[in-house]
Structure 1
């Protein structure tokens, strides 16, 4: 079996569909892995890191996916007119495509996949149950989104998050309000608290009060 891991080409996408550690596990199972050159650049993973785990480095997208049985991607493939490379057309007929496809937002793509003879597994539709926790891409990415939201907010904020006591006086801590206490919201609360802010949050579900307060925030 051949698994292809191509480079992500959508704007601002820096993630890679597999890490060198993942490649090592696949290789141990006897799977042939081909990684497109530059796949890990956005995540600061070199081609040598993949090669050291046994992966073959392909010079371009077409070479990477040629004869692939399974193609791993973070986001849905580019179609005709979306970019310099028509990623969907290059996929071998009968291959399996795995990634975050968001089919409800990209309904037209479903027909294109069928016409191309591709079987697609959209990881964002995996049920969020105990048995499928290791396949839950939404929770992991929401965690990062909640963290990054606070970091970006702090960068744009004109003041400092923690209380600061100096010889010139005392600066009060920032007040952060988080709307929603799901996976992203709880991570945002935790991050803002670690940075020294006074945090309050709200959610339409009263049962989240305990989770919010356990992180040191005030439930509104």
Structure 2
């Protein structure tokens, strides 16, 4: 497990807990010094778990059968040691695979097998491996905390000697994992929460968490759902949805934008004209800002003001909860790796990629069939 190299990336792909878990399956773990420091896991804890610590210049790369990473695409671009991986080595991580042909060609040239965790199919067998869901859960939680901290009023209803304070009104766009966690967090803080989603089937989930569902526009062609994700909506549907949301935005104190479509630019749900209807002092947190943003005017990594509304970039929020984000991510990775491991009676392990398994085939980004596979991670 190497140290992450993307600026601001504080998560790590394995924790002492998962090192012990995989060691029990016959894996030998090698960890680059300082890899877990930013997420609260020091080198000593990895050593106690049974991992060997190495320096960045170590030749261990050429001996590795499996490399575990968070930002695997950055690792491939910035770490020259990746070129020393032996043919058939396996890389697990977030690879930003959609349209990333250059990275795929680089892996294929180096005969590296790579699994892109973004492509993991959303089926019941893969729930324990679903990195996007575990990290989106954190993002939805943290988005509401950011909005609440930036808001110019209380969130819960308060009855005081000076009078009654009405609860804040939260509007959540998208009822996926992040949106539902945002809803649950807003309700815990005492807000009245409304949720908009293009999938009518989301209504039951929203109402079970105490939210109020905004029914999607009644058009002949609704976006629907595919593979556990919302399909990309037509421009006509989005225009009708924006008209519907304008009235809701005028009443909202905080808005959490979570609508994303894998491999596509995020749908624009809030335009400049709609922002002008919002109350000055209200807050918008856009979790889709890195994909183009659900809200016009949001800027990655920045907080800006537009028409008196505070627009907060919600990119990288799991990194702000690095310890638990790493714990969940590493468990997802361990569950996937356990699916790939064969362990002998003597305790030795080897990696076996079953291309007929829909989990493996679903997230396979590049592939090289090695002559033999060992068991070091």
TM-score (norm 2): 0.54
Distance between the aligned counterparts of 2:73 and 2:85, measured in 1? 9
In the alignment, structure 1 residue 14 sits paired with structure 2 residue 15:
no
How big is the shift at 1:119? 0.7
Cα RMSD after superposing both structures: 1.8
Q: Figure out how many residues of one structure are paired with residues of the other and give that number.
A: 214
Distance between the aligned counterparts of 1:61 and 1:194, measured in 2? 48
Summarize the alignment of residues 58-73 of structure 1 with structure 2, pairs less than 5 Å apart: 58-60=54-56, 62-63=58-59, 65-73=61-69
In the TM superposition, what whole-angstrom CA distance separates every residue of 1:19-57 from its partner, at most 9, and x where no partner exists? 111100121222110011111112111111111110011
Segments of 4+ in structure 1 off by > 6 A? Answer: none
Q: Which residue of 1 aligns with 2:370?
A: none
How big is the shift at 1:183? 1.1
How big is the shift at 1:105? 4.4
In the TM superposition, what whole-angstrom CA distance separates every residue of 1:155-183 from its partner, at most 9, and x where no partner exists? 22122211223333332211100011111
**Secondary structure of the structure 2 residue equivalent to 1:98:** strand
In the alignment, structure 1 residue 145 sits paired with structure 2 residue 155:
no
Distance between the aligned counterparts of 1:219 and 1:186, measured in 2? 11
Higher relative contact order (CA 8 A, sep 6+): 2
In the TM superposition, what whole-angstrom CA distance separates every residue of 1:120-164 from its partner, at most 9, and x where no partner exists? 011221111112222211111111111111112112212221122
Q: Which residue of 2 aligns with 1:122?
A: 116
- Shift of the 167–125 alpha-carbon distance from structure 1 to 2, 3 Å rule, reads same
Distance between the aligned counterparts of 1:61 and 1:141, measured in 2? 31
Q: Which residue of 2 aligns with 1:112?
A: 106
Aligned partner (choices 102, 108, 123) of residue 96 of structure 2: 102
TM-score (norm 1): 0.90
Distance between the aligned counterparts of 2:190 and 2:57, measured in 1? 46
Conserved in 1, the CA contact under 8 Å of 2:2 and 2:69?
Answer: yes
In the TM superposition, what whole-angstrom CA distance separates every residue of 1:180-219 from its partner, at most 9, and x where no partner exists? 1111111110011001111001111111111111111111
Q: Which residue of 1 aligns with 2:38?
A: 42
Instruction: Give structure 2 stretches of 5+ with no counterpart.
Output: 215-377
How big is the shift at 1:61? 5.8
